[in-house]
Structure 1
Amino acid sequence: MATYLRRCIEKKNINTIQIATGYWDVPGMALVVDELAAFLEREGTQLQMLIGQEPYVYAGQVKVPTYRRNFPDDYIKKDLEELELKEEYKGVVDLLLTHCGKTMQVRKYMKTLLHAKCYIFSKTFTENGEKCCHDAMAIMGSSNFTYKGLLGNAELNYLEKNGSIIDSNYKRTGVKGHIPWFNEMWEQAEDWTPVLLEQVIKPTPIGREVNRERKQRQKEAEEALAKPFTPYELYIKLLQTQFATFLDTKLSGQIKDYLPATYSAFDYQIDAVKQCYEYMQRHGGFLLADVVGLGKTVVGALIVRHFLSTPQKDGRGGRVLIITPPAVQQPWRDTLGDICATTPELSKRIDYISLGRLDKFTDGMDDEETLDDGTLDGVLDQSKTYGLILIDESHRFRNSDTEMYRALNSLIGSITPTPYVGLLSATPQNNRPQDLKNQIYLFERTPKNSTLTKG
């Protein structure tokens, strides 16, 4: 069971873990502590743990009244008091002290005896005001989140990979899935996170020892910061500040994971994705001007994939519009289809439109009306919730006096918040520097307050 838990936690596309267990102990969590630590360090992740009450505990309280203690507080505290000060156990306590109350929440269910054991892994996000879930997996069976439950006992568990079953809504299907069941139990439970930290963990020997080590590390860090930097250290800090994105190996690995096995992961393309994404967040857009043959379509598709996979905290919409010449639209569809193959729901949030059809896009059209030449993928999104507009062969917009430029500029200006704008062209300047200015103004909406600086 511990092996399967590790594999599920390590899945790159999940951001939510929900665990319901009759009992919990530190040795059990120690079996997966490294994987949980890596998961919780990723941006936008959350862990919810719901602790119930095993029947044998209740039976013990009835048979021996003097044994009646507060569950689970006293039981788990007693377990902690008897723990050896092993490094793996201290790692669990340190994880709890770091993340509980932030990315990790713990509740206890006391309405009835909660004997269920369920481990749910999913990618959750909000779209059009509704909470959505994709890529869900769930393990249910007899294993508590304890050492014996995960490794010691002869347990029987079942791994469910059908997301429609796991997220099944009772009102729509007549069947309550794992996630709706957990959410219902979670709402009925009481928050136990502060009690777990302050009354259960910290007063125990292992809690005091981990707290002492944490304070010692903090003191050493503060002392290190108080020392004057050497010229070499200042130089290294400057490099880290200016080129942090290029040094982020974790982000590089995440972007490479988007590529299917049939694609080559070229370092210059991964670097281009990271740099364009950083510039896009800093300036509202970017211009990628690689020469023909270096794979701008792959770079652009990876940027789209990363945008759709990353929660937007600034209110930008969760859809992408891709504007291309008619001749290259199908390669764009094919490339994004490959890169989004493991998360097909992302493809539903991408629209395509051909150059020269932008006037049709901005005209008032019925919700069921589509462009007659099929250059838009599906029905027009009249809500205009685009967070990113990507333009291939952007040099076609080098002249701000054309109807096509005005239509695109009007579309971008009509969306709030202003979407990111990505420009791709091997020849962004055809005749004069004004060509570049007009393209850049598509994302630099207030030139007098430009975030760009002279090189």
Structure 2
Amino acid sequence: MGTNFFTNEKENTLLEKIEGVFKYKKVHFFDALVGYFRASGYFRIRKFIQQTPHIRILVGINVDKLTYQANQQGLLFNPNSEQSQEEFFNDIKKNIQEAEYDKEVEDGMYQFIEDIVSGRIEMRIHPKQNIHAKIYIFREEVYHPHGYGSVITGSSNLTEAGLEKNFEFNVELRYDDDIQFATETFEKLWAESVAIDITHIEKIKKESYLNTEFTPYEVYLKFLLEYFGKSIDFDPNSVSDLPKGYKKLSYQVDAVNDGYSKMMKHNGFFLSDVVGLGKTIVSA
């Protein structure tokens, strides 16, 4: 006997379920209610939903975190749209910055930004409830009693991990009553939510690697930051405790500082000049 449950194991993932729904149904309305959203998750499903004219994504925020911050300041937590959006977009920007670089990932990030700005997708944030529910609703344009849609619910958020990497527990429901109940609940939460401010999107583009307006000089500075790390903040001239008779040479101080950093990171390092390097490798 078959089951409607699936757990992201083998080829039975949420990503494949979503692909199958869009492949075999003419989905006109796609609604997603998730506790956590990642841009990298959205672009994984975008190729399946690109023919769907009405796409809405409702995201819950980390109310517990905001409540804690308010309590630390001796305040009662009073959610507002500006605070909710700031929290949401800080998470999105962090997600973009920490994503493993890949051309497909980068293209997907750009597409996500473009889809929001153009109105291709509607996104809202619910600031009042700590939403952990995950609901994906698929409906055809006109209701008919012959399987006009389906609902997937379970533990998967709209993230790359939730779509296929994590062990999740989800179920697909196809009864009309289930679809109607899920849709009515979604509509209620959607009415309580706040629309996102497009200016936040522009801010994300400027403050992340999606910014295409960096000058060559700024790219060069970024290269130095990535290559030298925290050592760029070290001033060799600040060293003043050398033994008597020793000359302070900046390049040597730099070498000592770099060696110390490597030792702290790798628990050891080789110290040698250009001539001695070969002997060091041979002896090792």
On whether the aligned pair clears a TM of 0.5, the verdict is: yes
Query: Does structure 1 conserve the Cα–Cα contact (< 8 Å) formed by 2:63 and 2:127?
Result: no
Provide closer, same or farther for how the CA distance between residues 95 and 120 of structure 1 changes in structure 2, counting only shifts above 3 A. same
Change (3 A) 1:102 1:82: same
- Match among 167, 186, 189 for residue 193 of structure 2: 189
Name the counterpart of 2:175. 162
2:68 is aligned with 1:51: no
For 1:12 and 1:152, the matched residues in 2 are separated by 25
1:207 aligns with 2:220: no
Q: Distance in 2 between matches of 1:210 and 1:135?
A: 46
Give the deviation of 1:112 after TM superposition: 1.8
CA distance in 2, matches of 1:52, 1:206: 26
Residue 29 (structure 2) pairs with residue 16 (structure 1): yes
Within-5 A mapping of 1:46-195:
46-54=54-62, 57-58=65-66, 61=69, 70-100=86-116, 101-125=118-142, 135-167=148-180, 177-192=181-196, 194-195=198-199
Map residues 279-294 of structure 1 onto 2, 5 A cutoff. none
SS of residue matched to 2:211:
helix
Structure 2 unpaired stretches of 5+:
1-13, 74-82, 215-284
Q: Map 1:363-442; keep pairs closer than 5 Å.
A: none
The 3-state SS of whatever aligns with 1:184 is helix
Cα distance in 1 for residues equivalent to 2:196 and 2:39: 16
Root mean square deviation of aligned Cα: 3.2
Give the counterpart letter for 1:87 in structure 2: K
Distance verdict in 2 for CA 1:192–1:57, change over 3 Å: same
- TM-score normalized by structure 2? 0.57
Give the distance between the partners of 1:99 and 1:13, measured in 2 at CA: 21
**Shift in CA distance, 50/78, structure 1 to aligned 2, threshold 3 Å:** same
Any stretches of 5+ residues in structure 1 without a counterpart?
Answer: 127-131, 168-176, 212-455
Instruction: Write the mapping of 1:163-312 to structure 2, written as runs, cut at 5 A.
Output: 163-167=176-180, 177-192=181-196, 194-200=198-204, 202-209=205-212
CA drift at 1:115: 1.5
Q: Check if 1:33 corresponds to 2:50.
A: no
Q: Distance in 2 between matches of 1:187 and 1:133?
A: 29
Q: 2:93 & 2:206 partners in 1: Cα distance?
A: 9
Q: Deviations over 1:122-149 (max 9, x none)?
A: 11359xxxxx997121111111111222
Structure 1 residues 188 and 6: alpha-carbon distance in aligned structure 2, compared to 1, 3 A threshold: same
CA distance in 2, matches of 1:74, 1:4: 30
- For residues 105 and 7 of structure 1, the distance between their equivalents in structure 2, rounded to whole angstroms, comes to 23
Give CA deviations for 1:15-47 in whole Å, capped at 9, x if unaligned.
Answer: 111011111112222432322xxx32x3x6111
Q: 3-state DSSP class of the match of 2:206?
A: coil
TM-score (norm 1): 0.37
Determine which structure has greater relative contact order: mean sequence separation of CA pairs < 8 Å that are 6+ residues apart, divided by chain length. Answer: 2
Residue type at the aligned position of 1:77: K
Amino acid aligned to 1:104:
I
Distance 1:163 1:196 in 2: 38
Q: Give distance in 2, aligned partners of 1:33 and 1:210.
A: 26
Instruction: Please state how far the C-alpha of 1:209 moved relative to its aligned partner.
Output: 4.2
Task: State percent identity of aligned pairs.
Answer: 20
* Cα separation, 2, equivalents of 1:29 and 1:64: 34
User: Does structure 2 retain, via aligned residues, the 8 Å contact 1:53–1:115?
Assistant: no
Amino acid of the residue matched to residue 161 of structure 1? R
Q: How far did residue 62 of structure 1 move?
A: 6.8
Return closer, same or farther for 1:146/1:8 CA change in 2, 3 Å cut-off. Answer: same
2:227 corresponds in structure 1 to: none
1:143 and 1:50 map into 2 onto residues whose CA distance is: 14
Question: Counterparts of 1:147 and 1:82 in 2: how far apart (Å)?
Answer: 13
Check conservation: 1:25, 1:145, Cα contact below 8 A: yes
CA distance in 2 between partners of 1:136 and 1:112 (Å)? 27
- Tell me by how many angstroms 1:182 deviates: 0.6
Rate the CA distance shift 1:135–1:48 in 2: closer, same or farther, 3 A.
Answer: same
Q: 1:9: Cα distance to partner?
A: 3.1
Number of aligned residue pairs:
189
Tell me by how many angstroms 1:64 deviates: 7.7
Code of the residue aligned with 1:86 in structure 2: it is D
Name the CA distance, whole Å, in 2 between partners of 1:153 and 1:210: 36
Aligned 8 A contact 2:43 2:111 in 1: no
In the TM superposition, what whole-angstrom CA distance separates every residue of 1:136-188 from its partner, at most 9, and x where no partner exists? 21111111111222223222111111123211xxxxxxxxx001111111111
Residue pair 1:26, 1:89 contacting (<8 A) in 2 also: no
Distance in 1 (CA, whole Å) between partners of 2:146 and 2:190 is: 17
